[in-house]
Amino acid sequence: MADKQPKIQDDTLENIIDELPKLLVQHAYRKLKSGEDLTASEMKVCLDVCKAYSANTLVEKTNNILEGLPFDTEE
């Protein structure tokens, strides 16, 4: 019987660090889209994961067009 040798995988720390956020976002997205009932805690974790690891343009607050206008606050 031949000795089983473990497969040489590319499980270096750099690859794991690169792949893990992608897997977390994919899992959270599938869970949110599954249609199954989620507890508030599960939903919050999924949304937090997606927010934390998504592109900055998705996370940034939308521009409020009134924010920069100089309103007179004195009467």
- For CA atoms 49, 50, 55, 57, the dihedral sign is negative
Least Cα distance to 42 among 57, 30, 32 occurs for 32
Whether 1 shows a pLDDT value over 60: the answer reads no
Token pair of 40 as six digits: 């508030």
Domain extent listing, the chain: 24-54
| Three-class DSSP category at 49 | helix
4-37 pLDDT tens trace: 655 556 678 888 888 888 888 899 989 989 999 9
Q: Within a 10 A sphere around the Cβ of 57, how many other Cβ atoms?
A: 6
**pTM over 0.75, yes/no:** no
33-53 pLDDT tens trace: 999 999 999 999 988 888 888
